[in-house]
Amino acid sequence: MSASRPGFSGTRGPDAYLSSPFAGRVLRLLAEVIGAPAGRAAAEARVMARRLTSATSAPVLLHGEEDTVWTVLETAAELGLDARIGIEDSLTLPNGAPAEGNAPLVTAARQILRRGRGRLAP
């Protein structure tokens, strides 16, 4: 049986996935930047994305949470990768204002992704 969407976090995650029996058998990869300092989130996202996109043809979805969510989403837009957003990821908009639900978060994410080549994953 093949996995449909494995996820991992940290810069060691891609190598663990690529050496696993699931490598090459998935529909999409979820690369999460969680627990990294906000100032290093973009760099960590780039390292994971570069390692994955150079070794597999599966689409990569970059995902951050809380302090890293908008930086990671901007990195996904820059790299032309999928991203996701919701109140389970962040309660604030890019300007720090509280989000009044998912709709404002999705609107803000779409604006960021339109500036780049990324897309919001379903």
Share of the chain above pLDDT 90, in %: 54
Question: How does residue 118 score in pLDDT terms, banded at 50, 70 and 90?
Answer: confident
Please list the residues that pair with 83 across neighbouring strands.
Answer: 62, 120
pLDDT in tens, 24-51: 788 888 899 988 888 999 999 999 999 9
In degrees to the nearest 10, what's the CA dihedral of 104, 59, 45, 10? 110
Q: What DSSP letter does each residue of 53-105 carry, written as one string?
A: HHH--S-EEEEE-GGGHHHHHHHHHHHT-EE---TTT-SB-TTSPBP-SHHHH
Predicted TM-score of the model (pTM): 0.85
- pLDDT value of position 82: 94
pLDDT in tens, 48-61: 999 999 888 889 99
Going by their DSSP bridges, the two strands 60-64 and 119-120 should be labelled as: unpaired
